[in-house]
Structure 1
Amino acid sequence: MLVSEPIDDDTGQWNRQKVHILFAPSTRCEILAIPLNALHRRDELEWKENRARRFSVKDAYHVAIRLSHQDGAEHSNARIDGKVWKTIWALKVPPKVRNFIWRVCSNILPTKENLHSRRVKMEPRCDICYQQPESTSHLLWECPMARNVWARVQKCSNQMAAKVYHGSHYWYSGGLSAPCSIPERHSSRTIRSLAVLLVSVR
């Protein structure tokens, strides 16, 4: 059934008789309370986030950022200064890796804890260890499985892997104003390694 079916073609208003025939009593009043445009203008999609009323990817990006702030994420973009964001977006890694790091810093990964906080009906505990809620921090650093991955990386690599692990966890847990707690001469290479390793841990 089309929305236009219970609307009178001549008046542009609801045809009460059709509404009573087509809909249950519980919804009739709600439908009839919806005001209709009597000028017979075609419906148009409007984007309320700019004066031109037209959608743009740039505006959608800013809306997404604003909504992530409003959701009260425990590690919001507000805690990360512009220098760090420039570092993230300048990483010479695939775009999906940069996007993943952005999601980690914004705490908007679809972890079970985040979904549960948004009233998705599910058990928030980690499916791997069944001990702690599956938060971003738990998923990437604290879960025994994640710790095992990091341990193997450190065993097969050098001390830089240890710096990536400790620096990245510090970075996420509270030191987001600086890329990592590592020497400046290693920062670019280490952050690049961090980005790729975090995706692997996931």
Structure 2
Amino acid sequence: MDTEGLPTDGIWKRVWSLRVPQRIRTFLWITLQQRHLTNAERFRRHLATSAMCPICYLDVEDLDHILRRQPLHSTFTNCWNCRFAILCWLLWKDRRNSIFNPDNMQQEEILARGHRLFEECRFAFVDTPY
């Protein structure tokens, strides 16, 4: 176990063995280490004037707020680990774009992009079943 109580082997092996693009595995690795610069973390480091979510203004913007408390209605049923990883990465990416690059927003909905990326991964890793 590490200092935060997370298993040092099991969870990391599961993240690195996911059949998704490397950028998504890296995103999950950074997420599990809680190293993303959320507004709460930026505020703690004196890089922001508030820890509040700059989109909803209802709560502190931490990883839990961004990745877990967002209302998502998904019909994804199989290979939930891969789909979850892809959706978390897309949520993080969209949140950062809406704050730091609002003129370059994606037109495609997150779930549609997630489904498209999942299908691309499925074909890229066709040698083994999900």
TM-score, with structure 1 as normaliser: 0.41
Q: How many residues align?
A: 91
* Distance across 2 between alignment mates of 1:111 and 1:93: 24
* 1:123 alignment counterpart: 50
SS in 2 for 1:193: helix
* 2:83 alignment counterpart: 193
* Distance across 2 between alignment mates of 1:80 and 1:131: 33
Deviation of 1:140 (Å): 1.2
* 1:93 alignment counterpart: 20
Deviation of 1:117 (Å): 1.3
Superposition pairs of residues 43-192 of structure 1, within 5 angstroms: 76=4, 78-142=5-69, 146-147=70-71, 150-151=72-73, 154=74, 157-158=75-76, 160=77, 189-192=79-82
Q: Which moved more, 1:112-121 or 1:95-104?
A: 112-121
Instruction: Indicate the RMSD between aligned Cα atoms, in angstroms.
Output: 2.0
Deviation of 1:198 (Å): 0.7
* 1:5 alignment counterpart: none
Q: Any gaps of 5 or more consecutive residues in structure 1?
A: 1-65, 70-75, 161-185
* Distance across 1 between alignment mates of 2:84 and 2:24: 10
Deviation of 1:190 (Å): 1.8
Q: Which amino acid aligns with 1:199?
A: W
> Does the 8 Å contact 1:112/1:122 carry over to 2?
no
* Distance across 1 between alignment mates of 2:15 and 2:56: 31
Q: Which has the higher contact order (CA 8 A, sep 6+)?
A: 2
Q: Which amino acid aligns with 2:54?
A: D
Q: Alignment identity in percent?
A: 22
Q: Any gaps of 5 or more consecutive residues in structure 2?
A: 93-130
TM-score, with structure 2 as normaliser: 0.62
